[in-house]
């Protein structure tokens, strides 16, 4: 049986290099790993306990939780916006952290990767994503990292899926993430 990995991309831009990175991860996933890119993060309203009421959770948030509930693990892709993670990714983590102690992300393995224009590839943002996911209850793989600098130039004419160094690194990340899933979950 395949390990089901839900990919959440912190950039909403159609031509996002992080989205392309997620596509590359799906394309180069090792055997036994199935990566699904979640579509619709832009539609999820900002987390608010007043609207997180059983029976009336906004449809987009309910879809996110349902997809996350079916996942064995998560692969989060984060660019860096003003030195930190994008709000859309933080918002997804907030929705997935509830109900407290029993959220869809609770106890599940999470790896965080990404690319950014700067010289460090979004390291600060990705560290913030790891921190937020861990506090939300995820089993964050702190030693599984991939931060690709210079995205605007590196991927100007080459899709990340066609960059052999990136493809190899993504395959390794997905493989290590998959190893963290308990056999009963997969």
Domain for residue 173, yes or no? Answer: yes
- pTM for the full model? 0.96
Report angle CA 171, 175, 180 to the nearest 5 degrees: 155
Q: CB under 8 Å to 118, separation ≥6 — which residues?
A: 80, 149, 150
Domain for residue 125, yes or no? Answer: yes
pLDDT in the model for residue 137: 97
Domain for residue 9, yes or no? Answer: yes
CATH number of 122's domain: 3.40.50.360
How far apart, in whole angstroms, are the C-alpha atoms of residue 89 and residue 76? 8
Domain for residue 46, yes or no? Answer: yes
Into how many domains does the chain fold? Answer: 1
Domain for residue 22, yes or no? Answer: yes
Q: What is the pLDDT of residues 123-178, one digit of tens each?
A: 999 999 999 999 999 999 999 999 999 999 999 999 999 999 999 999 999 999 99
Domain for residue 185, yes or no? Answer: no
Nearest residue to 65 via CA among 32, 102, 29, 34: 102
How far apart, in whole angstroms, are the C-alpha atoms of residue 29 and residue 167? 9
Task: Domain of residue 103: give its range.
Answer: 3-179
Q: What is the pLDDT of residues 88-118, one digit of tens each?
A: 999 999 999 999 889 999 999 999 999 999 9
Nearest residue to 77 via CA among 25, 138, 155: 25
Domain for residue 184, yes or no? Answer: no
Domain for residue 186, yes or no? Answer: no
């Amino acid at each position: 049986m395949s390990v089901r990995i839900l990919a959440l991309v912190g950039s909403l831009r159609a031509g996002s290099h992080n989205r392309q990175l997620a596509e590359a991860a799906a394309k180069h996933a090792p055997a036994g790993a199935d990566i699904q890119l979640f579509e619709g993060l832009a539609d999820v309203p900002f987390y608010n306990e007043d609207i997180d009421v059983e029976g009336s959770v906004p449809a987009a948030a309910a879809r996110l939780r349902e997809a996350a509930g079916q996942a064995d693990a998560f692969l989060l892709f984060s660019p860096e916006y003003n030195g930190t993670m994008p709000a859309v990714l933080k918002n997804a983590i907030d929705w997935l952290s509830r109900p407290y102690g029993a959220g869809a992300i609770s106890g599940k393995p999470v790896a965080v990767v990404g690319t950014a224009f700067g010289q460090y590839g979004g390291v600060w943002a990705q560290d913030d994503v790891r921190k937020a996911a861990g506090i939300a209850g995820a089993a964050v793989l702190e030693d599984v990292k991939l931060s690709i600098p210079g995205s605007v130039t590196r991927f100007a004419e080459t899709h990340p899926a066609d960059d052999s160094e990136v493809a190899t690194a993504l395959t390794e990340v997905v493989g290590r993430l998959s190893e963290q899933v308990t056999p009963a979950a997969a």
